[in-house]
Amino acid sequence: MRLYVYLLCVSAVLPSAAQADTSHLDIARSSRETASLQGPVMKVEEEYAYELSDRKYREIRAYDEAGNLKYRKKFNYKDELTYFATNTFNEAGCMIRQRVEDIRHGTTNDYDIVLNVPTRQMAYQCRITGDIEIVTYNPDRCNTSTTIKRKRKKPLPYSKYKRDSDNVSLSYTRYDEDGRVKYVSVYRHDDQQRLTRAAISYKQEDRKDLNEYEYLAVDAYGNWTQRLLKIKTIQDGTEKNYDKFSTRTIEYYPAAENENEPL
């Protein structure tokens, strides 16, 4: 009964029901594609440290053969699990549920997912809070904006992307709980569409960040395996600089003959 009530609420926001054979991939690109991963990636394990410290952090992302994210895990420098997100799919391969456990902050969110193909939208309704996040995509299946509807409140903007003609992200705007701009990120990419620079301007505090990315090594598919991130933060007139060095170990599904072959 509780799930039925949830879905009625979502239907009020997205009135057109999706067909039984509809997949979220009809609306959105796969997680693997969104992450700019090339080839039949199965799992990515990233290890990183700041200022070449011995304190190393880890993150693992696992994908199915269609490129859907199955789970994402984060570990602190003590190798303790701090974050665990899982996605659930039906027999047709459509994502129907997402569960996010933020162990570090002691929160858990569990979302039911409803699709609306005609409007190119996906609605995530939290089973715990009842909040509904509505993500809108363009005809090329790229995220353009997200709105949030909280109980007894009007819908408010949550985030917005600006993209070029090739759907490369130019900027990202994030809003606070009152619908005011929280920060704006402006991006630059290289000719391989890899992120090289992110300038972040915070609108409610005296702070600016500048992130610059250097790709030091790639594998046979062209996916980076070593990256250096140079971070500069200016807050209240004080400047801080530090580096983040990351390495990635990438596992692949066996490639079909003449398909997804390495570069």
pLDDT at 261: 60
Residue 69's contacts (CB-CB under 8 Å, 6 or more residues apart) are: 31, 32, 61, 62, 63, 87
At residue 14, the pLDDT reads: 53
**Does the pLDDT value for residue 12 go beyond 70?**
no
More confidently predicted of 197 and 19? 197
Q: How many CA atoms lie within 13 A of 112 on its CB side?
A: 17
- The reported pLDDT for the residue numbered 13 is 52
> CA 40, 59, 56, 236 torsion: positive or negative?
positive
Question: What is the pLDDT at residue 262?
Answer: 65
**What is the chain's Cα-based Rg?**
20
How far CA 38 is from CA of 62, 156, 187, in Å, comes to 14, 35, 21
Distance CA 220, CA 38 (A): 10
Q: Tell me how far apart the alpha carbons of residues 28 and 101 are, in angstroms, rounded to a whole number.
A: 23
The answer to whether 168 touches 190, Cβ cutoff 8 Å, is no
The predicted-structure confidence for 180-224, as pLDDT tens digits, reads as follows 999 999 999 999 899 999 999 999 999 999 999 999 999 999 999
Residue 70's pLDDT band (boundaries 50, 70, 90)? very high
What's the pLDDT tens digit per position in 114-132?
A: 999 999 999 999 999 999 9
pLDDT at 9 over 60: no
| Residue 16 pLDDT exceeds 60 | no
Residue 75 near residue 82 (C-beta atoms within 8 A): yes
Q: Are 58 and 75 in contact (CB under 8 A)?
A: yes
Does residue 3 register a pLDDT over 70?
no
Q: Is the pLDDT of residue 17 over 60?
A: no
**Which H or E element spans position 8?**
helix 2-13
pLDDT tens per residue across span 131-190: 999 999 999 999 999 999 998 788 999 999 999 999 999 999 999 999 999 999 999 999
Q: How many residues does the chain have?
A: 263
Q: Is pLDDT of 239 > 50? A: yes
Annotated domain spans of the chain: 1-11+60-130
Mind listing the pLDDT tens digit for each residue in 93-112? Answer: 899 999 999 999 999 999 99
In this prediction, residue 8 has a pLDDT band, given cuts at 50, 70 and 90, of very low
Strand ranges in the chain using DSSP code E only, listed in sequence order: 41-50, 57-63, 69-75, 81-89, 95-102, 107-116, 121-126, 132-137, 143-149, 156-163, 169-175, 181-189, 195-202, 207-218, 224-235, 238-252
